Amino acid sequence: MIEIIPAIDIIDGKCVRLSQGDYGRKKVYNEDPLEVAKEFQDHGIQRLHLVDLDGAVSHHIVNYKVLEKIANHTSLVVDFGGGIKSDEDLKIAFECGAQMVTGGSIAVKEPELFASWIQRYGSDKIILGADVKERKIAINGWTEKSDCDIINFLEDYIAKGVTKVVCTDIDCDGMLEGTSIKLYKEILQHFPSLYLVASGGVSGIADIEALQDAGVPAVVFGKALYEGKISLHDLQMFL
């Protein structure tokens, strides 16, 4: 059964969603992310993908107080990302209650540091964030595109011990027009034992079912929930 992971993206302490990573196309869905997290928990959700969008375009973690509040007032397993740029940021995230941390930009810009985190904390706690635009890895809140191809990027980090990857197709993200299932199938053909978390483009239950049929282990989504394309009740079949 595919693992269901709702996302909460944070700007200025509020629950928001962007379209294709564009900070100029922001929509606020709730002033209180804890309220959203509690609702997820009440419907049987066990894991949360929490993203600090302010941190993603800064040089450090920003919305750690939101993480701390959710971790202290729910039983959700929180995977936190955005703004993890240093040992100090990583320490703050874990001390504030993150049980897993996703690193993307840092894995591109400082591969030795990121590899040291995998060795120090283990591959269950350190998740690789692979944000893709036209097959190339994007960094800094998706504002920059690198020259690194997704398959080569994954191959390098799997050799360094990575076992879990959140892969977001930026062109799909927030568009409610379907996932990049062809890309995910290609990734799993190359790395069949990878715990691949698909992210971006989920428009309804059919997209989740298609990912499950393709053998994708887990899926992150948010906008489809916030826009009413999927209800929390609909997700019961996967829980």
DSSP assignment letter at 74? -
Q: Which of 131, 169, 173, 207 is catalytic?
A: 131
Task: Looking at 137-204, list the stretches that DSSP marks H as alpha helix, in order from N- to C-terminal side.
Answer: 150-159, 181-190
| Residue-wise burial string across 135-165, b where 16 or more C-beta atoms lie within 10 A, e elsewhere | eebbbbbbeebbebebeebbeebbebebbbb
Active-site residue, 9 included: yes
Q: How far apart are CA 187 and CA 203, in angstroms?
A: 21
Task: Looking at 122-234, list the stretches that DSSP marks H as alpha helix, in order from N- to C-terminal side.
Answer: 150-159, 181-190, 205-213, 223-226
Q: Tell me, what amino acid is at 160?
A: K
Active-site residue, 173 included: no
CB atoms within 10 A of CB 34: 16
Catalytic sites, residue numbers: 9, 131
